[in-house]
C-alpha cells in the first residue's frame, strides 16, 4: 500500500466528492478530511428548506453514510481548524499546534456568511443561516404566529421566508435594493417572486436600509433608516457569502475573489488543489474567470481535482446550474445571465406558476430561469452550450415545442 498522504481541508460537498473519487481512480495512499464542524459532509441546500421546516432530520442531510467512507478507507478529523499551511515542509498546522504531513493537499473550504455591523446585531435572536448549528438555534425561535424579519431578499432569504411561512410565522423580508433577486435575475422574475410571496402571506419591503436592531436581552425589532420599525421574535440575515481564502493567501497561493485554480483544479502550487465555492476558475463556455456558489460546481470540480491527483487530467468545462425551492415552485437555472440584452418569457409569468425566462444576447441563449418547467431547463442546457441562434419570437411561443428549435 502506498505511503502517500492526501489531506482534504473542509468537510464540504466538494470534499465528499474528492475523497471517494480518489479511491475510484486508484489512489492507494491515505485520505484524511479535516472539518471544523462535528458532522460528516452534508447537503446545505435543505438547511433553509426541509431541515428548517422540520421535514428532514440531520441523518437525512448526510451526503454519504459513514459506512461508505469506512469502506473507502477515508478518515475524518472533525471539530478541528487548520490555522496554516507550511508549503516548504508540506504540512498543515492545526489550531492546537499539531502538524500533519501531506503529499497532496486539497482545499474545499467553501465560504462563510457576510455579516452586518449595526447596533444590536449581536443580540440573541439574530441569526445567519449557513450550517446545521445555525438552523438548530433558529428553530428555538420559530412558532405559529411568531414574527420573523429576514434581512436580504436573495435566494437564501426567500427560501427561508417560504419555510417560515409553512411553520405559520408572520414573515417580513427587507431588501436594500429596488427589487428582490436584483443581482441575479431580470425584473420580470423579481416581480414574479414578489407576487408569489405576497400571495403566500409574506410582506416584502424593498428600497429599505436597515439601521439597527432593538432589544433588551433578545432582539425585538428591526429599525430602518426611514424610521419604520418591524417587530420580530426572530431575525435572519442573508446578505451573501465570502469565500474562505485566508488560509490559501497566507500560504502564498494566488487569490483573486477565490483561490485561483487552473482547468485541472490546481492552485499556484501544483501539490495543492482546490474545489467548490472557495475557488476562482476560468469557464471556457463564457470565456471568463468566475467563482460559483453551486453544489454542482463543487461536485464537478471535486471530480476534476481527484483525477488530477491520480494523474488522469481532465479539464473542467461545465455549464453552471443551480436551483431554488420555494413553496410549490422548483426553480432550475442553467447558465449565467450577466450581459444579457433581452429576456423572452415562455409561459404564464403574470398569473401562473410555471414558465421559463430565457436570457439572450445576439439571438443566443446565455441562461434560463425555469420555474416548474423541467423540459425547458434540460433542453436549454444544450441550446446554451451549442451557442445556437434562436428566433426570439418562436422561443416565446409555447405552442411550438422547444425541441423543434434545436438546430
The pLDDT tens digits of the residues spanning 1-46 come to 678 999 999 999 999 999 999 999 999 999 999 999 999 999 999 9
Residue 322 included in any domain: no
**Nearest-angstrom CA–CA distance, 8 and 109:** 9
Q: Phi and psi at residue 111, in whole multiples of 5°?
A: -140, 165
User: Higher confidence at residue 387 or residue 367?
Assistant: 367
The kind and range of the H/E element at 374 are helix 374-385
Say yes or no: 43 and 25 in one domain: yes
Say yes or no: 131 and 233 in one domain: yes
The pLDDT tens digits of the residues spanning 318-343 come to 899 999 999 999 999 999 999 999 99
Say yes or no: 70 and 106 in one domain: yes
Neighbours of 146 (CB within 10 A): 16
Say yes or no: 37 and 53 in one domain: yes
Residue of 211, 201, 206, 204 whose CA lies nearest to 176: 206
Say yes or no: 143 and 216 in one domain: yes
**Nearest-angstrom CA–CA distance, 161 and 171:** 6
The kind and range of the H/E element at 193 are helix 187-199
Residue 399 included in any domain: yes
Say yes or no: 233 and 153 in one domain: yes
The pLDDT tens digits of the residues spanning 151-176 come to 999 999 999 999 999 999 999 999 99
Backbone region of residue 152 per phi and psi (left: phi > 0; alpha: psi in -120 to 50; beta: other values): left
Residue 323 included in any domain: no
**Residues 105-133, mean pLDDT to the nearest whole number:** 96
In the chain, count H helices and then E strands: 10, 26
Residue of 134, 131, 130, 74 whose CA lies nearest to 106: 74
The strand pair at 170-174 and 147-151 is best described as parallel
Strands (E) across 179-228 are located at 203-205, 210-215, 219-224
Angle at Cα 319 formed by Cα 33 and Cα 13, nearest 5°? 15
User: Higher confidence at residue 285 or residue 135?
Assistant: 135
Q: Are 222 and 151 in contact (CB under 8 A)?
A: yes
Please say which residue of 282, 309, 336 terminates a domain: 309
Say yes or no: 217 and 245 in one domain: no
The confidence band for 257, taking pLDDT boundaries of 50, 70 and 90, is very high
**Nearest-angstrom CA–CA distance, 67 and 60:** 15
Neighbours of 382 (CB within 10 A): 15
Residue 314 included in any domain: no
Q: Are 335 and 320 in contact (CB under 8 A)?
A: yes
Residue 151 included in any domain: yes
The pLDDT tens digits of the residues spanning 270-317 come to 999 999 999 999 998 888 899 999 999 999 999 999 999 999 999 998
The tally of domains found in the chain comes to: 3
The pLDDT tens digits of the residues spanning 358-381 come to 999 988 999 999 999 999 999 999
The confidence band for 406, taking pLDDT boundaries of 50, 70 and 90, is confident
Looking at residue 1, what is its pLDDT? 61
**Nearest-angstrom CA–CA distance, 267 and 334:** 27
Say yes or no: 259 and 173 in one domain: no
**Residues 210-216, mean pLDDT to the nearest whole number:** 96
Say yes or no: 165 and 232 in one domain: yes
| Averaged confidence pLDDT in the chain | 95
The pLDDT tens digits of the residues spanning 62-110 come to 999 999 999 999 999 999 999 999 999 999 999 999 999 999 999 999 9
First to last CA, the chain: 52
Find the CATH number of the domain harbouring 157.
3.50.50.60
Residue 91 included in any domain: yes
- Residue 367 CB-half CA count within 13 A: 21
Residue 316 included in any domain: no
Please say which residue of 199, 214, 237 terminates a domain: 237
Q: Are 213 and 231 in contact (CB under 8 A)?
A: no
Say yes or no: 108 and 253 in one domain: yes
Looking at residue 387, what is its pLDDT? 86
23: cell is 479511491
Say yes or no: 204 and 282 in one domain: no
Say yes or no: 68 and 131 in one domain: no
Residue 118 included in any domain: no
Which residue range forms the structural domain that includes residue 351?
A: 328-405
Q: Are 243 and 291 in contact (CB under 8 A)?
A: yes
How large a percentage of the chain has pLDDT more than 90?
A: 89
Residue of 150, 145, 153, 235 whose CA lies nearest to 193: 153
Please say which residue of 237, 269, 297 terminates a domain: 237
The confidence band for 193, taking pLDDT boundaries of 50, 70 and 90, is very high
Find the CATH number of the domain harbouring 362.
3.30.390.30
The strand pair at 74-78 and 30-35 is best described as parallel
The yes-or-no verdict on residue 180 having pLDDT over 90 is yes
pTM reported for the whole predicted model: 0.94
Amino acid at each position: 500500500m502506498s505511503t502517500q498522504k492526501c489531506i482534504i481541508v473542509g468537510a464540504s460537498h466538494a470534499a465528499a466528492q474528492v475523497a471517494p473519487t480518489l479511491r475510484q481512480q486508484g489512489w492507494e495512499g491515505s485520505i484524511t478530511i479535516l472539518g471544523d464542524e462535528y458532522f460528516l459532509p452534508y447537503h446545505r441546500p435543505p438547511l433553509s428548506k426541509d431541515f428548517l421546516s422540520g421535514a428532514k432530520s440531520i441523518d437525512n442531510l448526510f451526503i454519504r453514510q459513514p459506512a461508505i467512507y469506512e469502506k473507502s478507507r477515508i478518515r475524518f478529523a472533525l471539530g478541528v481548524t487548520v490555522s496554516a499551511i507550511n508549503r516548504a515542509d508540506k504540512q498543515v498546522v492545526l489550531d492546537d499546534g499539531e502538524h500533519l504531513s501531506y503529499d497532496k493537499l486539497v482545499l474545499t473550504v467553501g465560504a462563510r456568511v457576510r455579516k452586518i455591523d449595526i447596533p444590536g446585531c449581536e443580540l440573541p435572536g439574530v441569526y445567519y443561516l449557513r450550517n446545521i448549528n445555525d438552523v438548530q438555534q433558529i428553530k428555538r425561535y420559530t412558532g405559529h404566529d411568531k414574527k420573523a424579519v429576514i434581512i436580504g431578499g436573495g435566494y437564501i432569504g426567500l427560501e427561508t421566508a417560504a419555510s417560515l411561512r409553512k411553520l405559520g410565522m408572520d414573515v417580513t423580508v427587507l431588501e436594500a435594493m429596488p427589487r428582490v433577486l436584483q443581482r441575479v435575475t431580470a425584473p420580470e422574475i423579481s416581480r414574479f417572486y414578489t407576487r408569489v410571496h405576497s400571495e403566500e402571506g409574506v410582506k416584502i419591503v424593498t428600497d429599505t436600509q436597515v439601521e439597527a436592531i432593538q432589544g433588551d436581552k433578545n432582539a425585538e425589532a428591526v429599525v430602518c433608516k426611514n424610521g419604520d420599525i418591524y417587530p420580530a421574535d426572530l431575525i435572519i440575515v442573508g446578505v451573501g457569502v465570502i469565500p474562505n481564502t485566508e488560509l490559501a493567501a497566507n500560504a502564498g497561493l494566488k487569490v483573486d475573489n477565490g483561490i485561483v485554480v487552473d482547468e485541472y483544479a490546481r492552485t499556484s502550487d501544483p501539490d495543492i488543489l482546490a474545489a467548490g465555492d472557495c475557488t476562482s476558475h476560468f469557464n471556457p463556455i463564457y470565456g471568463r474567470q468566475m467563482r460559483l456558489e453551486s453544489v454542482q460546481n463543487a461536485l464537478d470540480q471535486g471530480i476534476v481535482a481527484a483525477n488530477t491527483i491520480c494523474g488522469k487530467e481532465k479539464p473542467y468545462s461545465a455549464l453552471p446550474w443551480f436551483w431554488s425551492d420555494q413553496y410549490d415552485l422548483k426553480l432550475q437555472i442553467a447558465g449565467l445571465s450577466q450581459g444579457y440584452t433581452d429576456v423572452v418569457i415562455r409561459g404564464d409569468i403574470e398569473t401562473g406558476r410555471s414558465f421559463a425566462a430565457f436570457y439572450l444576447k445576439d439571438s443566443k441563449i446565455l441562461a434560463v430561469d425555469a420555474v416548474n418547467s423541467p423540459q425547458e431547463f434540460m433542453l436549454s442546457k444544450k441550446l446554451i452550450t451549442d451557442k445556437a441562434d434562436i428566433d426570439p419570437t418562436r422561443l416565446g411561443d409555447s405552442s411550438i415545442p422547444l425541441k423543434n428549435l434545436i438546430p
